[in-house]
């Protein structure tokens, strides 16, 4: 939609969904976390971490904020630079639809496209609207069909299939920004408990909330870490990311040594979590029973709770797809395929994946705009 809104010439959008921008509509709990104040290449994963720089710099978060402001959409920063609509995500969709209308874009919904072929003039393909088919010729073809996340919402691997058809490489794709699963019932007694934590997977750590669920672990810090996790790897939870627990316990031991250790810990962590941990880490006795060495060792355990997920919830709930069209084939400035002039890939289909927090939409806006400018 972003690309169509700004591309010059006659633009036809083909989408098999009933409505455009369905992921925008459901995003951010219906308020769309449409960008992040701190957007920059550091917040994106790709086999080529430099690829996203150009598009992100040429159409920035400030450009999108300016657009949103000009359309009178009120917004607020929730946390960590994440910007949400005050009202509804539908305002972002309405803005994009208005821009497309102003640009004379022809939007074909509940329509599929197939049988793509290269011609000397560009490309041709077949449009299918409920069995009514039509051949279409075009000079340029922009693939903005997203990744594999949430097939129920219409996600398909069309962009990857077309990339393969034109001899491009698709890097390994994986569900990302996705909850972890653990063996049946492991955290069931803790379902609904949330706590601040620093979660580490691979070499990356995220300091936000963790949520225990019937099936495993979720919450922003866990979703973020999932993008850096591989099957069989452990993750580490630091349940006292702020520090300060050890001196606080030592001080309390001096003035109220008769207090139960678990009761005291429940001042710092949710009580149900402390109860669970008391089984896992053998927390028992009164504060006065704890030597400095015992308290130090317990705090170290809380700061280094290592768990190995059984897996993830997969594409069924993943917010994004990690990996995609290998950026080596694309111009970083325009998103055009160097070996197939006129063919463009933008958005989540490309091997550029943002952190949680509005970065993925910013990539959609920036890469869409990069292609639009090339079509001017």
Ligand X SMILES: Cc1cc2nc3c(=O)[nH]c(=O)nc-3n(C[C@H](O)[C@H](O)[C@H](O)COP(=O)(O)OP(=O)(O)OC[C@H]3O[C@@H](n4cnc5c(N)ncnc54)[C@H](O)[C@@H]3O)c2cc1C
Question: Rounded to the nearest whole angstrom, what is the least distance from the CB of residue 136 to ligand X in the complex?
Answer: 13
Residue nearest to ligand X (CB): 347
Residue 148 or 186: the one with the smaller Cβ distance to ligand X is 148
Minimal distance, residue 277 CB to ligand X, in Å: 31
Q: Which is nearer to ligand X, 309 or 347 (CB)?
A: 347
Distance between CA 24 and CA 47 in Å, rounded?
26
Pairing of strands 141-143, 343-345: parallel
C-beta of 175: minimal distance to ligand X in Å? 10
Burial of 162-196, coded b for 16+ CB within 10 Å and e otherwise, reads bbeeeebebbebbbbbbbbbbeeebbeebeebebb
Q: Give which of 370, 345, 29, 286 is closest to 168, Cα–Cα.
A: 345
The residue among 24 and 239 lying less far from ligand X, judged by its C-beta, is 24
Minimum Å distance from CB 119 to ligand X? Answer: 20
Q: Identify which of residues 93 and 190 has a Cβ nearer to ligand X in the complex.
A: 93
Examine residue 60 and tell whether it contacts ligand X (CB under 6 A): no
- Cβ atoms of 220 and 36 within 8 Å: the answer is no
Beta carbon of residue 96, minimum distance to ligand X (angstroms, whole number) = 10
The verdict on 91 binding ligand X (CB under 6 A) reads no
Stretch near ligand X under the rule CB under 6 A, chosen from 96-104, 130-138, 146-154, 190-198: 146-154
Whose Cβ is closer to ligand X: residue 219's or residue 249's?
Answer: 219
Distances (CA, A) of 154 to 20, 180, 273: 11, 23, 38
Scanning 65-73, 91-99, 155-163, 328-336 for contacts with ligand X by CB under 6 A, the matching segment is: 155-163
Residue 298 CA to residue 368 CA, distance in Å, equals 50
Q: Which of residues 245-274 bind ligand X (CB under 6 A)?
A: none
Phi/psi at 264 (5° precision): -70, -40
Closer of 145 and 290 to ligand X (Cβ): 145
Q: Check binding of 15 to ligand X (CB under 6 A).
A: yes
Q: Which of residues 193-222 bind ligand X (CB under 6 A)?
A: none
- What contacts 183, CB < 8 A, 6 or more positions away? 310
**Distance from C-alpha of 283 to C-alpha of 290, rounded to nearest angstrom:** 10
Distances (CA, A) of 145 to 163, 207, 255, 333: 12, 32, 63, 20
Q: Which alpha helices (H) appear in the chain, and where do they start and end?
A: 2-6, 22-26, 53-58, 61-70, 90-102, 158-165, 220-226, 245-255, 261-265, 271-280, 292-302, 359-374
State whether residue 116 is helix, strand or coil. Answer: strand
345 contacts ligand X (rule: CB under 6 A): no
Minimum CB distance to ligand X smaller for 179 or for 347: 347
Q: Which residues, in sequence order, are CB contacts of 42 under 8 Å at separation 6+?
A: none
Q: Smaller CB distance to ligand X: residue 105 or 364? A: 364
Q: Binding of ligand X at residue 290 (CB under 6 A)?
A: no
Of the candidate residues 283, 348, 351, 373, the single one contacting ligand X (CB under 6 A): 348
Question: Judged by CB under 6 A, does residue 174 bind ligand X?
Answer: no
Confirm or reject binding of residue 226 to ligand X (CB under 6 A): no
String marking each residue 300-329 x if it binds ligand X according to CB under 6 A = -------------------xx---------
- Is residue 57 within the footprint of ligand X (CB under 6 A)? no
| Choice from 8, 9, 10, 17 touching ligand X (CB under 6 A) | 17
Tell me which of 40, 41, 122, 154 binds ligand X, using CB under 6 A. 154
User: Length of the chain in residues, anyone?
Assistant: 376
Q: Are strands 353-354 and 82-85 parallel, antiparallel or unpaired?
A: unpaired
Number of residues that bind ligand X (CB under 6 A): 31
Can you give the C-alpha Rg of the chain in angstroms? 24
Q: Are 152 and 317 in contact (CB under 8 A)?
A: no
Interface contacts to ligand X, rule CB under 6 A: 14-17, 22-23, 26-28, 32-33, 112, 144-146, 149-150, 154-156, 158, 319-320, 347-349, 358-361, 364
């Amino acid at each position: 939609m972003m690309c169509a809104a700004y591309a010059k010439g006659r633009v036809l959008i083909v989408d098999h969904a009933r409505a455009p921008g369905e992921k925008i509509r459901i995003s951010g709990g219906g308020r769309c976390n449409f960008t992040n104040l701190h957007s920059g290449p550091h917040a994106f994963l790709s086999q080529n971490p430099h690829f996203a720089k150009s598009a992100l710099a040429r159409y920035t978060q400030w450009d999108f904020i300016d657009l949103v402001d000009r359309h009178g959409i009120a917004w607020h920063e929730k946390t960590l630079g994440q910007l949400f609509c005050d009202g509804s995500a539908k305002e972002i969709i309405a803005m994009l639809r208005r821009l497309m209308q102003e640009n004379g874009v022809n939007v074909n919904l509940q329509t599929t496209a197939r049988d793509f072929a290269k011609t000397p003039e560009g490309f041709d393909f077949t449009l299918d609207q409920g069995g009514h088919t039509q051949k279409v010729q075009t000079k340029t073809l922009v693939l903005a069909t997203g990744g594999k996340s949430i097939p129920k919402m219409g996600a398909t691997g069309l962009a990857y299939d077309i990339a393969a058809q034109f001899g491009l490489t698709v890097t390994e794709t994986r569900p990302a920004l996705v909850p972890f699963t653990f063996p049946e019932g492991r955290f069931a007694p803790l379902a609904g408990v949330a706590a601040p934590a620093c979660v580490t997977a691979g070499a990356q750590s995220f300091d936000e909330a963790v949520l225990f669920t019937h099936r495993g672990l979720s919450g922003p810090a866990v979703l973020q870490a999932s993008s850096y996790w591989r099957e069989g790897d452990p993750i580490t939870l630091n349940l006292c990311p702020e520090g300060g627990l050890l001196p606080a316990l030592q001080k309390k031991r001096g003035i109220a040594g008769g207090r139960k250790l678990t009761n005291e810990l429940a001042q710092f962590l949710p009580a149900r979590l402390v109860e669970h941990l008391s089984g896992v880490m053998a927390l028992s006795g009164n504060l006065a029973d704890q030597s400095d060495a015992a308290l130090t060792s317990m705090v170290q355990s809380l700061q280094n709770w290592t768990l190995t997920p059984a897996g993830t919830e997969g594409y069924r709930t993943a917010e994004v797809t990690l990996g995609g069209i290998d950026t080596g084939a694309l111009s970083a400035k325009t998103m055009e395929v160097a070996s197939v002039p006129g063919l463009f890939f933008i958005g989540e289909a490309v091997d550029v994946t943002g952190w949680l927090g509005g970065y993925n939409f910013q990539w959609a806006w920036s890469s869409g705009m990069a292609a639009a400018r090339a079509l001017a």
